[in-house]
Structure 1
Amino acid sequence: MNRRSLLMLLGIGTGSAAQAVARSRRPANAAPRPRGSLSPELPFRPVPTPLPLPGDGLAAAEQRRHYAQVSLVDRLVVPEGYRADLLAVWGDPLGTGTFGYNNDHLAFLALAPDEALLTVNFEYISARPWAEGLGEARGLALPLEPLRVALADRDGRVDATALKGRDPLLAMVRAVAAAALEDLGIGVAGLRRGAEGRWQRQPGRFDRRITGLSGLEDPAQLLRASGPAAAVFRAPQRLGHDDGLGDRIIGTFANCAGGTTPWGTVLSAEENVQNEVCEEVFADGSSPAPSRLPFRWDGRRLRGLGNPFGLAGNKYGWIVEVDPRRPRRPPVKHTALGRFRHEAVAVKAEAGQPLVVYSGCDRHGGHLYRYVSAGRIEDPGDSSNSALFTQGRLEVARFSPDGRGRWIPLLPGTRLDPQRPSHYRRWGLSQPTLVPHHDRSRPGAIALGSDAEVAEYRERFATLAALYPGEAEARLGAILIDAHLAANAAGATATARPEDTVIDPSTGDLLIAFTAGGGEEKEGRADPAIFSGPAGESSWPHGWVMRLSDASPESGSFGWRMVAVGGAPWEGGLGFANPDNLEVDRSGNVWIVTDRSSRPAPGDPFGNNSCWVLPKAGPARGQALCFATGPMECELTGPCFDDPQHTLFLAVQHPGEVNGTRAAKAGDSQRIPLVDRSGTPFTQERLVPQGSNWPSGVPGRPPRPGIVAIQRAAGGELLS
């Protein structure tokens, strides 16, 4: 991907070349000092990265010397002249509970000039650092080791629904599962800005915790369901499990990305629910019994948290709306927006137009979706617009290699057109097509391995109505509950893990972060006709950013183009890898945080997950500038700004995810192959700390996820 394409991402022309960004041989935890070529007009001095970048201001020989030895650090590194203040960490008091684990999406809502609310998602449990930190963070002494021993001869699994009420094993399972689910969900935290301009936690009447078990003990705390799937939840008869709650729901978990509405509510996306409850469903949209996914704890993995509480899997995997200013109002899961592994929510609300919501399904072979409301918006700031989430049309994207595409409605009358396996053979790939099981008395999918099997399937099932029984709202509800497989059957394009969607305010276009191409045997793979590497690679693990231009809410067509690609510069990338969350500031600069595996492949050059800025204007336009790098084995998530954009809020998620608590000086020496700007290969000696102690920095203390507020030390706009 070249500089011209990057400038297209920012919506600007490709004028004269940007001046170089300089670096010097300083430690990896300090920002670079200026060199002669450094322009004083750069918005900030980029944070060092462990691999050579085109804008580092070094000649090829200088790059080989400068990058010959690098040490990664277990801290959050921000540019020179900036400060990062810790706002909250796992275990801090919040409302009637505590600040949860693995904070993700953040949403800032101003209440007054110096008062605000920050809504926070708590996504999942990283088993090792969570277990090591429970005592310090939450003061809990759970029976983790006795439970591990008790489950050792059961392969670490047990179906808690089959245990008797007085069984001591059941008590241990429920204690561990409850503590984990209480650490997930959504939080609302009050903030106050002091005289010096820095935001701090200010507990108040809006503070709130919605957990994975909200409503279990107090029915008044149950979540609500709107839209067609509520009819499935209320059905008097069903093929699968009935939790007895009708259209009420216990809790929310797997809360990953999200979005905000112009009327001040927050949308929280339930993503990887398949780890905790059954994802597959029957033809009528009902869920298999919770026994299908047993509870698991083997000392390394904590899964099946819904099993001990009999949670119905079809009630998870939705978009949840929360009103931070109305703490007594139950959250609502809007089923018209579809059920899948939601990551990303972008809302387009224009007067006189339908409400439009874009979302992605974060899985290999997942899809990009658009929801168009049946009603229209009169005033974008009117809180009654929430009613527009209840009735509308869910559509899924089908991309064409020529840069065009169309939206396929997921309606009963939609004809089936699954992707043919032969499509992948031109790239030497074997890829079956996953569709709803042809035995409609069975839940889940079947893999069609040949074009002949696809043709036979289409002869048997002409439309989505043939796959999903029922009448009117209940039939549509069943389709929406099984949206991923229904989309496969309708012929949606298999994409490359769409992890965020954001509207560019200057153009109205949609920016989409596709985190990684390739695939997984059980899930599928991204279509290489759309998602190929810089040199045409059929599998590209480093990701892309796409710009999608929608004609109108009523139109079924769109245009698209790739505008940025992850990867090493010598392979055609911009220097970052695996773009995840996106944000666009009021000047049009694009902010990206990365989602790389905490277990990178041998020889991986990229280092810790990071935050990048793609400037829209000035001497650095056309470059990707590293703004921050995270602690060890973490992911930086949820970037958002306060109203004057003097503060960037970031979540530090799962520090120490792989190796847990770092002991003093624990580390690993690695040899990393790199390439300088002349194309000459060389080898870097890299010291990589093992585990984390963030944020304390004290060896032996467990890491704790948390939220930081980043500002210029002297105050003022973040980029100036």
Structure 2
Amino acid sequence: MSLIENRRPLPMADHVRGKRSAVTCQFKCANACVGPECNTSNNEHFRDIASAALSRRAVLGLGAAAAITLAVSSLRDVPVSAPAAAGQGAAALPGASFARGGSSGLPFTPIAPVDASVDAFTVPDGYAWRPVIRWGDPLFSSAPVFDIDAQTPEAQAAQFGYNCDYLDIIAEPNRRRGVLVCNHEYVNPTIMFPPSTDPAELRRRGDIYKAAQGMSVVELERRRAGEPWGYRVDGRRNRRITVETVFELTGPAAGSPLLKTAADAEGRWVRGTLGNCAGGTTPWGTVLSGEENFNGYFAWNASTPEQRRYQANATTSTSTGWETYDPRFNANDPGYVNEPNRFGWIVEIDPDDPRSTPVKHTAMGRFKHEGANVILAPDKRVVAYMGDDERNDYLYKYVSRNRMTASRRKNRQLLSDGDLYVARFRGDSPAGEIDGSGTLPADGAFDGTGEWIPLTRNGQSAVPGMSIDQVLVYTRLAADRVGATKMDRPEDVEPNPKTGKVYVALTNNSQRGGPTAPVDEANPLTGNRFGHVIELTETGGQAGTTFGWSILLVCGDPATFAPAYFAGFPRDQVSPISCPDNLAFDSAGDLWISTDGAPSTIGRNDGLFKVPLEGAERGRVQQFLAVPRDAETCGPVIRDEEGMVFVAVQHPGENGTFEAPTSLFPDYGSTAAGDVADAPRPSVVQVMRA
């Protein structure tokens, strides 16, 4: 099907109940939430155990942000005194004021929620913002300055990619040099290009889409610590990883017949990475990336139980059109029926070595990985927490067999050999008190205990009737068999580096309470539109197999949603929050939450929120920033010791078109060199104290 044919009316009903716009669902996850249920298993349930469009050619002065000048040829082109947008429209939330906790260096007055029709990047009074790098900014001097009307595959492969998601800023000890690592999850064809039905043009665009996805590694530099970063064109470590980059498979499933194709008889080498969502940075300095919604890139029959567990619908075409000219994306071809099995892994890259071969770790299981976040157990084994981002799927943990050492080379092997677990939750309240209304049970909390059920042990299957490669390639089916607890879309899962407690963002689940997923104490809301956050405490040590848990937040607007809960903090003193997605921590150990879905659920732009976890402020949700119209807040990085916060702004203006955009972020009418003033550009933004 051609790209223009893919612009059919989009299904809306479930999106209204859920978190995303129909555009996001089409291009990001191939309408997974409006299709049949992937998880139809009858595994043990918890309760049984106990504004108007803007003309593309009109340059509008919106007053929402000042013009920004970015480097397009050298760092010298980015004076640190360049103007930045500061706090316009950042009215204080009534009745709320920031109470500084621990050693946090980011005092702020929470902003008021921003209406979903507003196309502005909003920060608190006393703060300013500016992009670090935008879609299309060149990483190499061989690449042209970005021109939205003259895109080519070759240019895009040397420019910053589209739809940035996971983000980290890894500073060197002097804090004047560093590297930015960022995922590029997917593309929005309808705002990247005007409509076309020409087959040759659509194929050319398909190659641009391949180059626009994957990951970017970009060197950063600044004059002194605490000042804004600029990026370096031709930096030694600059690199683009795309849908054509070669990856090596590692771990027990590498070489399995389930991973072999006509192009790779060994089953050990994969071209490309897809759907790169969140991630994590390891203690040895590599970066992990989660391959999430990979299924939507393939035409496939979905005729077997194994296929249907990852792609409920048979598909004959995709939004990229790759299957029309690249046989590996036609999984209906017998030679490439296993190609989808080669995606859905945790990827590891070395940002310090642009010539290194990135890897995909089969030992960590295959599912729709939001990301993976690592913490060291007391015995120095590596523990990685992972969520499978689909309704009614599971929470996982990986524990390495070996221990971290001083050898970076040896540490690169830690994620290739270890045990994989899936979580089962138990509640401590009578089943009759968990009725789907969100009313707290008699003991005053949704809480209980849980266990980590092994899927693999010492490189062997721990699931009866499944081989090790079946467990790792069809991890969802293995988890079904052992009776894991179905969760409300587990996205980011982050261990707190201060306390070791683990926080799970459950973004929402409009199908909770249905026949395949009744409510339970860990997922207590029927038709959970706004999501919740679970706090998990390992009781057997970080590498142990038991845990305690409680719900920290039940999200929603407390003014209109009675079940909203904020760890017992007064409801009239918090910022409304909906659809938690990515998590981060500041130096004091406070939690920061970025959201994805507030416009379609509470009518507000998505944002970044701070939540203290201890003392009298525990549960006090405070909104720090809001992203522009139609955008999602991704990849928060908190450097409060420097008074700085970084976020990736994904899919701004996604509900517009090429000719009639709904956002002009981040250039907002600027005509400086390299700016595209009348089109939205996904960007990495730094926020600093003004």
**1:273 and 2:264 correspond:** no
User: Any idea what the Cα deviations from partners look like across 1:81-124, whole Å, max 9, x if unmatched?
Assistant: 10111111111112561111100000121124200001000001
Amino acid at match of 2:607: S
**Which residue, out of 477, 490, 494, partners 2:486?**
494
TM-score (norm 1): 0.67
Match of 1:343 in 2: 370
| Kept after mapping to 1: 8 A contact 2:383/2:399 | yes
Distance 1:404 1:91, change over 3 A: same
Distance 1:612 1:303, change over 3 A: farther
Q: How far 1:376 sits from its partner (Å)?
A: 2.4
Q: Percent identity?
A: 33
**1:200 and 2:230 correspond:** yes
Distance 1:340 1:284, change over 3 A: closer
Distance 1:357 1:184, change over 3 A: same
Q: How far 1:642 sits from its partner (Å)?
A: 4.4
Match of 2:403 in 1: 376
What is the alpha-carbon distance in structure 2 between the residues aligned to residue 478 and residue 413 of structure 1? 15
| Kept after mapping to 1: 8 A contact 2:116/2:630 | no
What is the alpha-carbon distance in structure 1 between the residues aligned to residue 405 and residue 97 of structure 2? 49
Match of 1:596 in 2: 597
Q: How far 1:31 sits from its partner (Å)?
A: 2.2
Match of 1:180 in 2: 209
**1:114 and 2:105 correspond:** no
Secondary structure in 2 matching 1:627: strand
Q: How far 1:486 sits from its partner (Å)?
A: 1.9
What is the alpha-carbon distance in structure 2 between the residues aligned to residue 553 and residue 307 of structure 1? 47
Q: What aligned pairs does 1:653-672 form with structure 2 within 5 A after superposition?
A: 653-660=650-657, 663=660
Amino acid at match of 2:584: E
Distance 1:288 1:261, change over 3 A: closer
Match of 1:692 in 2: 663
What is the alpha-carbon distance in structure 2 between the residues aligned to residue 572 and residue 704 of structure 1? 37
Match of 1:94 in 2: 139
Which shifted more, 259-268 or 489-498?
A: 489-498
User: Any idea what the Cα deviations from partners look like across 1:176-230, whole Å, max 9, x if unmatched?
Assistant: 322111110011011112357111112211000000122xxxxxxx211100121
- Point out the structure with max Rg over C-alpha: 1
Match of 1:677 in 2: none
Distance 1:28 1:709, change over 3 A: closer
| Kept after mapping to 2: 8 A contact 1:499/1:580 | yes
| Kept after mapping to 2: 8 A contact 1:397/1:407 | yes
Match of 1:213 in 2: 244
Match of 1:130 in 2: 192
| Kept after mapping to 2: 8 A contact 1:394/1:409 | yes
User: Any idea what the Cα deviations from partners look like across 1:547-567, whole Å, max 9, x if unmatched?
Assistant: 111222553221111111111
User: Any idea what the Cα deviations from partners look like across 1:34-86, whole Å, max 9, x if unmatched?
Assistant: 98996896921111115xxxxxxxxxxxxxxxxxxx78420110011101111
Distance 1:319 1:696, change over 3 A: same
Match of 2:547 in 1: 558
| Kept after mapping to 2: 8 A contact 1:105/1:637 | yes
Match of 1:702 in 2: 679
Q: How far 1:28 sits from its partner (Å)?
A: 10
Match of 2:426 in 1: 400
Q: What aligned pairs does 1:229-240 form with structure 2 within 5 A after superposition?
A: 229-232=253-256
Distance 1:184 1:256, change over 3 A: same
**1:225 and 2:213 correspond:** no
What is the alpha-carbon distance in structure 1 between the residues aligned to residue 231 and residue 619 of structure 2? 37
Secondary structure in 1 matching 2:363: helix
Secondary structure in 2 matching 1:182: helix
| Kept after mapping to 2: 8 A contact 1:39/1:619 | no
Which shifted more, 619-628 or 87-96?
A: 619-628
Match of 1:263 in 2: 284
**Which residue, out of 600, 608, 613, partners 1:611?**
608
| Kept after mapping to 1: 8 A contact 2:639/2:645 | yes
**Which residue, out of 382, 394, 397, partners 1:355?**
382
What is the alpha-carbon distance in structure 2 between the residues aligned to residue 625 and residue 567 of structure 1? 13
| Kept after mapping to 1: 8 A contact 2:162/2:185 | yes
Q: How far 1:233 sits from its partner (Å)?
A: 5.2
Distance 1:34 1:97, change over 3 A: closer
Q: What aligned pairs does 1:540-689 form with structure 2 within 5 A after superposition?
A: 540-550=528-538, 551-553=540-542, 555-570=544-559, 571-573=562-564, 575-596=576-597, 600=600, 604-616=601-613, 622-642=619-639, 644-660=641-657, 663=660
What is the alpha-carbon distance in structure 1 between the residues aligned to residue 96 and residue 488 of structure 2? 38
Amino acid at match of 1:637: C
What is the alpha-carbon distance in structure 2 between the residues aligned to residue 245 and residue 524 of structure 1? 42
Q: How far 1:637 sits from its partner (Å)?
A: 0.3
Distance 1:348 1:554, change over 3 A: closer
Match of 1:73 in 2: 118
Q: What aligned pairs does 1:381-530 form with structure 2 within 5 A after superposition?
A: 382-402=408-428, 403-411=448-456, 464-466=463-465, 468=466, 475-519=467-511, 527-530=518-521
Secondary structure in 2 matching 1:558: strand
Secondary structure in 1 matching 2:487: coil
| Kept after mapping to 1: 8 A contact 2:503/2:534 | yes
What is the alpha-carbon distance in structure 2 between the residues aligned to residue 358 and residue 287 of structure 1? 22
Match of 1:18 in 2: none
| Kept after mapping to 1: 8 A contact 2:629/2:652 | yes
What is the alpha-carbon distance in structure 2 between the residues aligned to residue 322 and residue 633 of structure 1? 31
User: Any idea what the Cα deviations from partners look like across 1:444-484, whole Å, max 9, x if unmatched?
Assistant: xxxxxxxxxxxxxxxxxxx9453x4xxxxxx3122211111
| Kept after mapping to 2: 8 A contact 1:73/1:631 | yes
| Kept after mapping to 2: 8 A contact 1:404/1:560 | yes
Distance 1:34 1:482, change over 3 A: closer
Q: Alpha carbon RMSD of aligned pairs, Å?
A: 3.6
Distance 1:364 1:525, change over 3 A: farther
Distance 1:525 1:79, change over 3 A: farther
User: Any idea what the Cα deviations from partners look like across 1:117-156, whole Å, max 9, x if unmatched?
Assistant: 0100000112322225xxxxxxxxxxx5124xxxxxxxxx
What is the alpha-carbon distance in structure 2 between the residues aligned to residue 365 and residue 304 of structure 1? 30
Secondary structure in 2 matching 1:343: coil
Amino acid at match of 1:587: A
| Kept after mapping to 2: 8 A contact 1:365/1:524 | no
Distance 1:607 1:247, change over 3 A: same
Q: How far 1:246 sits from its partner (Å)?
A: 3.0
Structure 1: gaps of 5 or more residues: 1-26, 51-69, 133-143, 148-168, 215-221, 417-462, 469-474, 664-689, 714-720
**1:364 and 2:341 correspond:** no
TM-score (norm 2): 0.70
Distance 1:33 1:496, change over 3 A: closer
What is the alpha-carbon distance in structure 2 between the residues aligned to residue 39 and residue 313 of structure 1? 47
| Kept after mapping to 1: 8 A contact 2:93/2:111 | no
What is the alpha-carbon distance in structure 2 between the residues aligned to residue 76 and residue 288 of structure 1? 36
Q: How far 1:703 sits from its partner (Å)?
A: 0.8
What is the alpha-carbon distance in structure 2 between the residues aligned to residue 413 and residue 78 of structure 1? 49
Distance 1:566 1:177, change over 3 A: same
| Kept after mapping to 1: 8 A contact 2:96/2:110 | no
Distance 1:499 1:304, change over 3 A: farther
